[in-house]
């Protein structure tokens, strides 16, 4: 089927398809790998190379190589990079590789690391090895301001944080209890935003985190509100002494949290249904476009055949008239 469609295309379309095929082949056929890490973690990059080579060098993107097997680490590296970079050249008679370790990853470490291999002064282009290192980072520290009164002791706070490359959210704890959000996390080009419901009679401690991360209450201390007249400066860990609260307070808190969690769950379900519908619409559009293109190709091919048949018929008619004229 694909072969028939390809041959039915005009020369211009064939050249375009071949050009795209060559690009995809170069992208996925080169000797390169990818590695994804989070800021603060450690990355270990391994570059194998032929043992009969006489020199290898390592560089970040298209900058000057910062390592050479003949010279060691370059003096152009900053003191911070010298402390965080570690290169080990494992050179034996059977398996040779260059091990490169980066500790305490930073966003500036992201990029392509290229190993170049030389033999007798000539670079072996086919042995060039590339590793793309992606360094993701979480949202910045959260800050919150009081927003609207919600009745009684309840108030909403608007929290923001600098957006990260990893999707995030903002969490708040009050009296060692996680406070449910009033809205889903919203990310703009620069900011992560979320609204939280809290009590104004107690200190609240808030922080940002990634969606795949869980922060303990003692770790959630980016910002705090309602600390006046309270000795707490950080969220305290759980202790054996329980806080005494009235039955009405406990009931009100439980009902409010249940209501907010229910609303959040419904919102997540609605977002999921919406995304499924949008995806289905795009799939339908793609199918319609494909059918439209196939129909155009078929009509063009059919029209060409009809034109050829007409030309043949007119030629035969002319020949028949000539024959009749000759006979006469």
Domains of the chain listed by start with CATH number: 31-136 (2.60.40.10), 138-236 (2.60.40.10)
- Nearest CA-CA partner of 45 in 16, 76, 66: 66
Task: For residue 108, report the phi and psi dihedrals to the nearest 5 degrees.
Answer: -70, -15
Q: What is the pTM of this model?
A: 0.56
Q: Give pLDDT, residue 228.
A: 76
Q: Give pLDDT, residue 47.
A: 96
Distance CA 309, CA 254 (A): 82
Ranges of residues in the chain whose predicted pLDDT is under 50: 1-6, 18-19, 21-30, 238-273
Q: Give pLDDT, residue 264.
A: 41
- Tens digits of per-residue pLDDT, 99-158? 999 999 999 999 999 999 999 999 999 999 999 999 999 999 999 999 999 999 999 999
- Burial of 71 (C-beta count, 10 Å sphere; 0-12/13-18/19+): exposed
Mean pLDDT of the chain: 78
Please answer whether residues 65 and 55 qualify as being in contact, where contact means their C-beta atoms are separated by less than 8 angstroms. Answer: no
Q: Give pLDDT, residue 101.
A: 96
Distance CA 48, CA 93 (A): 13
Q: Give pLDDT, residue 93.
A: 72
Q: Give pLDDT, residue 295.
A: 78
Instruction: Say if strands 32-38 and 129-136 run parallel, antiparallel, or are unpaired.
Output: parallel
Q: Give pLDDT, residue 94.
A: 80
DSSP strands (E only) in 94-185: 96-102, 111-119, 122-123, 129-136, 143-149, 154-162, 168-174, 177-179
Write out the two tokens for 97.
Answer: 């590789």
């Amino acid at each position: 089927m694909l072969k028939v469609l390809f041959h039915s295309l005009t020369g211009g379309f064939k050249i375009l398809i071949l050009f795209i095929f060559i690009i995809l082949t170069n992208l996925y056929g080169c000797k390169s790998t990818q590695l994804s890490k989070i800021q603060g973690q450690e990355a270990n990059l391994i570059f194998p190379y032929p043992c009969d080579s006489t020199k290898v060098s390592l560089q970040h993107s298209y900058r000057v190589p910062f390592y050479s097997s003949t010279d060691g680490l370059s003096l152009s590296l900053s003191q911070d990079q010298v402390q965080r970079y570690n290169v080990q050249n494992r050179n034996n008679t059977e398996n040779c590789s260059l091990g490169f370790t980066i500790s305490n990853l930073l966003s500036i470490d992201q990029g392509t690391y290229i190993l170049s291999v030389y033999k007798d002064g000539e670079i072996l282009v086919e042995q060039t090895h590339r590793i793309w290192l992606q360094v993701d980072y979480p949202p910045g520290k959260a800050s919150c301001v009081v927003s609207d009164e919600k009745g009684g002791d309840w108030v909403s706070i608007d929290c923001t944080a600098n957006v990260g490359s990893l999707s995030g959210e903002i969490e708040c704890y009050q009296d060692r209890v996680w406070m449910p959000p009033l809205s889903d996390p919203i990310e703009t080009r620069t900011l992560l935003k979320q609204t939280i419901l809290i009590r104004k009679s107690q200190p609240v401690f808030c922080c940002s985190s990634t969606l795949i991360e869980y922060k303990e209450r003692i770790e959630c201390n980016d910002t705090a509100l309602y600390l006046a007249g309270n000795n707490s400066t950080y969220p305290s860990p759980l202790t054996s002494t329980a806080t005494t609260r009235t039955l009405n307070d406990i009931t009100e808190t439980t009902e409010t949290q249940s209501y907010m969690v229910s609303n959040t769950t419904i919102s997540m379900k609605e977002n999921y249904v919406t995304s499924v519908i949008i995806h289905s619409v795009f799939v339908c559009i793609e199918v319609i476009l494909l059918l439209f293109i196939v129909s155009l190709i078929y009509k063009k091919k059919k029209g060409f055949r009809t034109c050829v048949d007409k030309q043949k018929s007119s030629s035969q008619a002319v020949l028949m008239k000539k024959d009749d004229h000759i006979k006469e």
